Amino acid sequence: MKAHQRSKELYERAVKVIPGGVNSPVRAFRAVGGDPVFIQRGEGAYLYDVDGNRYLDCIGSWGPLLLGHAHPDILSAISAQLPHGTTFGAPTELEVQFAEELCEAVPSLQKVRLVSSGTEATMSAIRVARGYTGRDVIVKFEGCYHGHADFLLAKAGSGVATLGLPECAGVPASITANTLTLPYNDVQALHTAFKEHGSAIAGVIVEPVVGNMGCVPPTPGFLEALREVTQRHGALLLFDEVMTGFRLAYGGAQERFGIMPDLTMLGKIAGGGLPLGAFGGRADIMDMVAPVGPVYQAGTLSGNPVAVAAGLATVQTLKARRHVLYERLDAMGSKLSDALRYAAEEAGVPVVVNQIGSMITVFFTDLPAVSNYAQAKTSNTQRFARWFRTLLEEGVYWPPSQFESAFLSDAMSEEDIFRLIEAARVGFHKAREVA
């Protein structure tokens, strides 16, 4: 590993003109006691920094890059669109085709609207849920992250958890007053909340598999309970599949677990690495959206043809490969998680490795399991930081936070996974030195 000289210089310039030197907080490496690495380019499973170092990329731009960097099919779809123009502010054939593909892929989608980010998708979907039910209260879960809209930042995961922020400044209490926050995987708390507030609850928004407090899958029966209780009380069930969509199965977590939400949010993989999000669901609910219904929602760049071209190429590539791709990722993920557990045990470092498909987190905790945010928070983040820095030194780019999921990609080879396990083994021995 060469010195990060050029990264250092860029960071010094960056902090003068960009808050913290980054355009999204987790990129800053704050929680792991380092400066961010500046990236020059990506290729397949690898990232190259501005000092000429190569890393196996286990972040994948925080979710979008299931197919790896600079995938030829996606690049050529983008190139094919460019000469025709970059935005029209008018409907196109491409977005119709894309919407058809999304509705075919994701089991519960009947109608869908495109936006430009996951944040926009979740805040719009919640407006629709409130408009449809005529109710105000939204239920969310501790440690789940649904983008940075005001009313969804209560006890949020991702960067909010990484930085240990108790509350987000600038969010009026009157706005989060309609957000009810419950522990994830707690069916009892869910029933209690509905018993007390059932008639006021517009919807429950959930990451069907959490990635934003680290990877935390639902315990058996939790998603079923969400479906049952919302239906019984006339509330909507919103699956935020911005991370899990096209990652855990072609049809997302709802296909994998066989639970149909009323509304679904997509982003990340669905945009093929360009800014794109989507929200959709039952046709009668989506017909609440203007210009058909009274719920206003709009966007100058919504359905942007370049982003749609990238998204469509991604979805079509996944569709063609889905019968091998998801099985391959599942096998790679479970092999990796077994190897990490073994390596940690060998080094005498207690960990819980949560993994499902291509999502994986190593929690540095003594607990026997991590199934909610309170349990995730017992992790020794100093130990994690030491492990992370060793991986980086060994050429593995792992999320710089205990509370983020790492992602495998289809661009990774068996050999890449082997290298990753070797780096992790070195990391566990270093982590043991931290009390």
Ligand X SMILES: *Cc1c(COP(=O)(O)O)cnc(C)c1O
Distance in Å from the first CA to the final CA of the chain: 27
For the CB of residue 340, give the shortest distance to ligand X in the complex, in Å.
22
For the CB of residue 410, give the shortest distance to ligand X in the complex, in Å.
19
Nearer to ligand X, 7 or 116 (CB): 116
Nearer to ligand X, 147 or 427 (CB): 147
Which residue in 46, 55, 132, 145 is the catalytic one?
145
- Provide the 8-state DSSP code for 83: G
377 is catalytic: no
Measure the CA–CA gap between 373 and 11, rounded to whole angstroms. 32
Nearer to ligand X, 214 or 277 (CB): 277
Nearer to ligand X, 143 or 147 (CB): 147
Which residue in 240, 262, 330, 410 is the catalytic one?
240
Beta bridge partners of 49: 39
Which residue in 268, 326, 330, 416 is the catalytic one?
268
Q: How many CB atoms lie within 10 A of CB 55?
A: 22
For the CB of residue 276, give the shortest distance to ligand X in the complex, in Å.
9
Q: Report whether the peptide linkage leading into residue 291 is cis, meaning its omega lies within 30 degrees of zero.
A: yes
**Residues that bind ligand X in the complex, under the rule CB under 6 A:** 117-119, 122, 145-147, 207, 211-212, 240, 242-243, 267, 277
Which residue, among 125, 138, 97, 102, has the nearest Cα to 286 in the 3D structure? 125
Q: How many CB atoms lie within 10 A of CB 164?
A: 10
For the CB of residue 253, give the shortest distance to ligand X in the complex, in Å.
10
Quick check: helix, strand or coil at residue 395?
coil
186 is catalytic: no
Give the nearest residue (CB) to ligand X.
Answer: 118
For the CB of residue 114, give the shortest distance to ligand X in the complex, in Å.
13
Number of H helices, E strands in the chain: 14, 14
Nearer to ligand X, 21 or 277 (CB): 277
145 is catalytic: yes
Crossing angle (nearest 10°) for helices 222-232 and 187-197: 10
Cα dihedral across residues 365, 367, 372, 374: positive or negative: negative
Q: Which amino acid is located at 120 in the chain?
A: E
Which residue, among 186, 214, 251, has the nearest Cα to 337 in the 3D structure? 214
Nearer to ligand X, 146 or 386 (CB): 146
Measure the CA–CA gap between 51 and 59, rounded to whole angstroms. 19
Cα dihedral across residues 7, 13, 17, 19: positive or negative: positive
For the CB of residue 292, give the shortest distance to ligand X in the complex, in Å.
25
For the CB of residue 9, give the shortest distance to ligand X in the complex, in Å.
28
CA count, 13 A, side-chain hemisphere, 392: 23
Nearer to ligand X, 154 or 351 (CB): 154
| 299: CB partners within 8 A, 6+ apart | 115, 116, 120
- Give me 29's structure tokens: 């490496």
Query: What positions carry a catalytic annotation?
Result: 145, 240, 268
